[in-house]
Amino acid sequence: MTTESLRWFKSSYSDNGGVCIEVATNLAAAHNVVPVRDSKNTDGAVLNFTTGTWTSFIEYAAAQRV
C-alpha cells in the first residue's frame, strides 16, 4: 500500500467497555483507503475500505442515531 505510517484513533464516543474500532484516515486523500482494525487486537487483521465505502458507512451509522 504505502510506507507512510498509519495514524490510528478511536472515536470520542468509544468509552463503551472495549467494543471499539480504530481508524487511520491519514491515507484517505492520497491513497483512497481507510484502514480499520479492532482496538483490542492492534496486531490483528486490518480491513481496508475505499473512502467512498467508508463515507457511506459513516452516513448510514449517523442516520441510525435518531
Helix, strand or coil for residue 63?
A: helix
Q: Is the pLDDT of residue 1 over 60?
A: no
Per-residue pLDDT of 28-37, as tens digits, reads 999 999 999 9
Looking at the DSSP bridge assignments, the partners of residue 38 are 21
Buried b (16+ CB within 10 A) or exposed e, 18-40: eeeebbbbbbbeeeebbbbbbbe
2-58, pLDDT tens digit by residue? Answer: 577 999 998 777 776 667 889 999 999 999 999 999 988 999 999 999 999 999 999
Q: What is the pTM of this model?
A: 0.80
